[in-house]
Amino acid sequence: MGAIANQLVKAIESSSNALTKVGMWGTLAMMILISWDVIARYVFDSPLLFSDEVSGYLLVYICFFGAAGTMKQKRHINVDIFVNRMKTQNRKRLELVTSFIALGFLLVFLWHSYVMVYRSYVRGVRMPSVLLTPIWIPQSLLLIGTFFLVLQFIVEIKKSIKDLRSGEGR
């Protein structure tokens, strides 16, 4: 069972890294799109009518696709002015408790994201814009990113429990 669990952990972490890299391409795409829109608007007096809409989708894409990799690298924002003064074991216990709370929140968010995407798809909702984008497509970015963030949280919780049990970092 341990070998399968380790392979699963490696697969989740690889997926988190890959999703983050894919999200980075979104940053480049947004930069190119906005730059081209500025050039088209001020040089050719012909702005891209869809650039604001697509830039908004790309922003969601970048944030949600990068969340799991950021979690894996422990680079999410922490308010740790008091936590850093705690003993290592107590800090690890507190991090574990807050990770479980965050996981609970994310599971609720994941469920509601799924319901939102499903309803938008079934109802055929489209953005009232030039592109008439089916809204379930950009909404799916939240669902995918949150799903991988949940998986990464589970991996981090597993690691924290292992550290606490082994007494690592005393």
pTM of the predicted model as reported, rounded to 2 decimal places: 0.87
**Model pLDDT, residue 77:** 76
Nearest to 57 by CA among 26, 88, 91: 26
**Model pLDDT, residue 168:** 61
Instruction: Confirm if 55 and 33 have CB atoms less than 8 A apart.
Output: yes
pLDDT by 10-residue block (mean), the chain, 170 residues: 81 88 92 94 90 93 91 80 84 90 96 98 95 96 95 92 76
Residue 144 Rama label (left phi>0; alpha psi -120 to 50; beta): alpha
Domain hosting 24: range is 2-166
Residue 46 CB coordination number (10 Å): 8
**Model pLDDT, residue 72:** 86
Buried b (16+ CB within 10 A) or exposed e, 99-138: beebbeebeeebeebbebbeebeeeeeeeeeeeebebbeb
Domain count of the chain?
1
